Amino acid sequence: MDLGTRIRTAREEKNFSQGDLEQRTGMLRCYISRVENGHTVPSIETLEKIAGALDMKLYQLLYYEDRLSDELTPKSGWGSYGKEARLLNKFRQLLPRITQNNRQLLLFMATRLIALKKLRS
CATH number at residue 39: 1.10.260.40
pLDDT at 70: 44
Q: Do 42 and 50 meet the contact criterion of CB atoms below 8 Å apart?
A: yes
Domain membership of residue 31 as a residue range: 3-62
- Residue among 85, 76, 77 nearest 2 (CA): 85
pLDDT at 54: 94
77 shares a domain with 26: no
Is the pLDDT at 7 greater than 80, yes or no? yes
Query: What is the arithmetic mean of pLDDT over 91-117?
Result: 83
Count of domains observed in the chain: 2
Which of residues 62, 80, 109 is at a domain's end? Answer: 62
pLDDT in tens, 54-85: 998 888 888 765 544 444 455 556 666 677 77
pLDDT at 79: 61
Quote the pTM value. 0.56
Give residue 23's identity as a one-letter amino acid code: Q
Which of residues 62, 93, 108 is at a domain's end? Answer: 62
C-alpha radius of gyration, the chain, whole number: 17
79 shares a domain with 97: yes
Query: What is the arithmetic mean of pLDDT over 20-38?
Result: 93
